[in-house]
Structure 1
Amino acid sequence: MRKPRSPPRLVEQAGQSLLRDEALAVAALDELPTELFPPLFLAAFAGRHSQTLKAMVQAWPFPCLPLGALMKTQKTHQETLQAALEGLDGLLAQKIRPMRWKLKMLDLRGNVHQDFWILWSGGRTRAQVISLVGPGEAQPMPKRQKVDHSWMHPLEVVIDLCFKEDTLDEFLTYLMEWVKQRKGSVHLCCRKLKVFAKPMQNFMNLLKMVQLQCIQELDVSCTWKQTVLGSFVPHLGQMVNLYRLLLSHVCEPPCSCFTEEDHHVAQFTSQIFRLHFLQELYLDSVNFLKGHLDQMLRCLMSPLETLSLTYCQLQESDLMHLSLCMNISHLKRLDLCGISMLDISPEPLKVLLEKVSATLQTLDLDECELTDAHFNVILPALGSCSQLRTFSFCGNSISMPVLENLLQNTARVRQLHLGLYPAPLESYQGLHGAPHLGRLADLHARLKSILQELGQTRTLLLGGPLCTQCGNRTFYDPKPMQCPCHRRA
């Protein structure tokens, strides 16, 4: 039986009544109680009453207008944004401060402030309202107040940006042009910035517009040359509140000399020195650090929680410097996937694991060309990683006896709940191809039996070779969990 629909609350009825006459709604804003603004704004937004939206932006009685949380559920972003920005234009053009002018930030992020609209639309007591907006935020302001625009703080427009295409979409193009024309009175603040597209010129132009000190997370995941890196790093040093940095695929020029390489390293590391709040560092296929990793490590100004050096070319000296760095001693996540250690002594890796043993939760050593000899050295250190929860080292040539020793050495690591291990050498019929399913099932059963004897309930998956088409791996439990290519075939 369908539950009967609740009748509209009085506040909703009042809002609907006002919106039947937009001129009346706009005129009533000066006398509208603070508690009625969010419900009326929701009604105007849903009904696309542009004139009312513009007027409400100008009279908004809170420091922040979380418009992005509403736009996330509506397809007509352009229409809504245009109405809001036109309202801000009218606000910025006034020489007399409107009665309720408190707006300091227009937040266009879609994944924050959801609770604001939920709380206000559900109706709250005045005490709850005051608690929500902060002490004094719900108090009435003087009717009129003259202002001097020379001392007014710029209005902040906050947005998270993700570039996936070569050109900006209509929404971002309109916003960027609006901000550009109001430089000085409006600041574009981007907390999270992700770039997956070329050309890089769009990215570089954007960096000239945003407040670089506002950026907290930066992901640049597209191939670029060191010359482009040289143009970027001066901007990096201005991102003084950066928490997460990801750079990938920095290519070396064909005839790079040692002097040029030293210059690029010094240029990059000198900016890392200015990032006092950096806690997550991801470098993927960034090869100019080979033999120079110590320079970057010396420039770290705060302890890292995450360090990911994947598919980079490193020397044994680089790993030794890494194991001695004080600012990696509290790592929670270490990812060295794709770092070839075939001709590198396992001792630096052992020292590194011992250094982070008290805090490390996730360890990835996939595709590192590790052998039994490497693992026999680092096994005791692995057993001391008391907080380890996930460990993956697929794509390495490891025998069944070493896997058995691994389970024995990590028996005391009670936090470890997921192990992604390579299919043992004994499961393969030859040097190439997939493991023999029957043989692999027997070996998998032996490993599971050892876990049971040790009182462990962790998930144990054995990984085969990477798919040449999609780059994903087939895992066995013991039945194969095929990559998407096989499922489509």
Structure 2
Amino acid sequence: MKMSIQTPPTLLVLAAKRLLRDQASAITALEYLPAELFPDLFVLAYRSGHHRQLLKAMAQAWPFTVLPLGVLMQRPPDHAPTSAVGLKAVFDALDVLLAQEIRPRRCKLRVLDLRNTGANFWNTWCRDNAWHCSLTGPVTVHSSSPNMEHPLAPLEVFLDLNFNERDRDKFSMHIIQWAQQREGLLHLCCKAVRISGVPFQRVRRVLDGVQLDCIQEVEVNCTWDLPTLGTFALFLGQMSNLQRLCLPHIQLLEEMEWEEEQRSFSQFLSQMLRLRHLRELDMRSPSFLRGRLDQMLRCLQTPLDKLSITRGQRLTHSDLTHLSQCPNLRQLKILHLFGLSLSDFSPLQDPGLDHCGMTGSQVEAILPALSRCHQLSLFSISRNSFPVATVEKLLRHTSGLCSLEVEVYPVPLECYRTQGTVDQERLALIPAKLTGILRELGRPRRILLTTKHCRHGSFVTWHFHDMEPVMCPC
């Protein structure tokens, strides 16, 4: 026999459930209900799908400055009708509030948050185990960008633009059109744009209707051609407060003429020049930058905090040389170089590991830049193929970076047999050798060495701290 012990509902939940039995009486009582009861009552009414008038009345009397509705909307598809009822009730309430010159006495609502945030608000107020939000991110600060050129409206609506196969853009278009019809009464703020596997025309239709200087984050997780990137750049250049940019994989078309390709690339660069607040740049498989990475780096208007280059890009020796010389990369806090495949460099030393990336000679190109990144806190160059001598050079070049907290290096080539398996006896000699180097440099370091374990696919990791090697589980 299995027994389960459930925490009994709180008095607030019991009171909210009692109010739901008589919707008319609940609406009348809103003027006198304590603010602590509103969240539980709102969640129960929203989940039921049968208390539209109560939801409308509660939104008009909302005793908090923020109504984080977006997190309540993240429900399975079979609950879509329930979500639609709750959303319409709130928007009807906003129409009433916007039409009034004087707000109701209890209403403190200033922000409607339709993003997938606000879990902490509901988890704080709704302590009943029947309602627990698994989305535990902190409540995002609700404020428009300080550099935006518009006066803040009495009501702000926050919305993330998520383009995916679930036709999320149709919902966004509905909100955008609703906001446009009430221009001057509210401000629609879209801070994040995420694009995954949808035709660009769908993206363009939505972006045409929003204020682009609100956007602070753009993430593209799909494949575009260079002309599409050039067209998107026309929108990108208007995102004057953009702080994080994740570029898509760009497919170079063989039939494209060189003039057209260069025109699209130049259009992209001209708009990058307008991003004066960019702090994070993530380039995934940017084969279109081969041989012209320097042109893009010259477009950076401010020092970056984070640079990530991943997924087997075919960069050249010249590209890495320019990477090491760019002045706006000297204040990096995080640098990720993962899975590079550099065809213009010398061949890999071990044919069995040629899929892992950088060799010792390739690492030499980034050492000058690395030694000047005094704000760097994390440096990872694991799963590459170079000898212990290169690891030693990296340790010496990073010894002056006082902000560096974690360093991740690959187990050296000397530890691998010809067939690509790890020689445990050779591997056991590495910690003592590197510990001697760290003692010579005279500063405790947190160093991680990783190698892929062939049979289990796990990682073997050593941790060097206080200049003593310790084996760590992965």
TM over 0.5: yes
1:29 is aligned to: 30
1:105 is aligned to: 111
Report 1:293-442 matches (<5 A): 293-310=293-310, 311-341=312-342, 343=344, 367-371=356-360, 373-374=361-362, 389-396=378-385, 398-403=386-391, 417-421=406-410, 423-424=412-413, 427-429=416-418, 433-435=419-421, 437=422, 440-442=423-425
Deviations 1:358-388 (A, max 9, x none): xxxxxxxx955423x4556877986787755
Distance 1:252 1:7 in 2: 60
Q: Is the 8 A contact 2:66 2:112 kept in 1?
A: yes
Stretches of structure 1 lacking an aligned partner (at least 5 in a row): 124-131, 133-150, 346-365, 479-489
2:287 is aligned to: 287
2:69 is aligned to: 67
Give the C-alpha shift of residue 45 in structure 1. 3.3
Deviations 1:97-134 (A, max 9, x none): 45245434321223x333333444479xxxxxxxx9xx
Aligned: 1:273 with 2:278? no
Task: Name the TM-score, length of structure 1 as normaliser.
Answer: 0.70
Aligned: 1:82 with 2:103? no
Give the C-alpha shift of residue 239 in structure 1. 1.6
Q: Secondary structure at the match of 2:248?
A: strand
Give the C-alpha shift of residue 180 in structure 1. 2.9
Stretches of structure 2 lacking an aligned partner (at least 5 in a row): 129-138, 140-150, 347-354, 440-444, 463-474
2:250 is aligned to: 250
1:145 is aligned to: none
1:193 is aligned to: 193
Q: Secondary structure at the match of 1:301?
A: coil
Give the C-alpha shift of residue 79 in structure 1. 1.3
Task: Name the TM-score, length of structure 2 as normaliser.
Answer: 0.72
Distance 1:236 1:192 in 2: 12
Aligned: 1:234 with 2:240? no
Equivalent position amino acid for 1:302 in 2: T
Q: Secondary structure at the match of 2:104?
A: coil
2:349 is aligned to: none
Deviations 1:281-324 (A, max 9, x none): 11222333344333333332221111223444444444444333
Equivalent position amino acid for 2:387 in 1: S
Q: Is the 8 A contact 1:395 1:463 kept in 2?
A: no
Deviations 1:443-488 (A, max 9, x none): 21110232444566743223489x9xxxx9774569xxxxxxxxxx
Aligned: 1:92 with 2:95? yes
Give the C-alpha shift of residue 178 in structure 1. 5.1
Q: Is the 8 A contact 1:290 1:315 kept in 2?
A: yes
Question: Match for 1:184 among 181, 186, 191?
Answer: 181
Equivalent position amino acid for 1:434 in 2: G
2:207 is aligned to: 207
In structure 2, relative to structure 1, the CA distance for the partners of 1:327 and 1:402 (3 Å cut) is closer
Matched pairs, number:
416
Equivalent position amino acid for 1:105 in 2: V
Q: Secondary structure at the match of 1:89?
A: helix
